Amino acid sequence: MIAALTILLSCQLAGEVLVWLTGLPVPGPVLGLVILLAGIGVTGRIPQDLRETATGLLSHLSLLFVPAGVGVMLHFERIGTEWLALLAALLLSTWATIAVSALVFVGVARMVGGADADAPEDEGPR
């Protein structure tokens, strides 16, 4: 697990440094993801240790949002006066975004005949 965490943190660090050096409008961890993906792509395999740690972290991804979410207590007053506008915006916009993204994805996939709706699940390289 320590080796895997070191890999993840190193990639994140490299991502942050690259963003700082280049001024790209890209978040450091996202660039870190690209770096790790390139690294795995070059070696052609995922070390067992890394797979287990990554799966562990990702299976509880929503836990990581709890501390920021508790910050809702700082905004009770604003939410009290603007709750209707905020709630309507969040609900309708989230639903519209899911519907538009999914329909466009499926529509374009059908047009180009690539990943069509009936394609069997592909597990990819293991």
Partner 1 sequence: MTGPLGDVWVYLSATPLLWLTATLVAYLIGVTLFGRLGRNPVVQPVAVAIVLLVAVLLVSGTAYDVYFDGAQFVHFLLGPATVALAVPLFSQWKRVKRAVLPMAAALLAGSLTAVVSAVGIAAMLGASRESVLSLAPKSVTTPIAMGIAEKIGGLPSLTAVLVILTGIIGAMTATPLLNLLGLKDYAARGFAVGVASHGIGTARAFQVSELAGAFAGIAMGLNALATAVIVPLLVRLFG
For partner 1, the binding residues in 53-112 under the rule CB under 8 A are 53-55, 57-75, 78, 82, 84-86, 88-109, 112
Given 2, 23, 41, 42, the residue binding partner 1 (CB under 8 A): 41
Which tokens is 74 given? 């700082």
Over its C-alpha atoms, the chain yields an Rg (Å, rounded) of 20
Is 19 an interacting residue with respect to partner 1 (CB under 8 A)?
no
State the CB neighbour count (10 A cutoff) for residue 50: 19
Q: Where are the beta strands (DSSP E) in 3-126?
A: none
For residue 17, the minimal CB distance to partner 1 (Å) is: 13
Given 2, 21, 42, 119, the residue binding partner 1 (CB under 8 A): 119
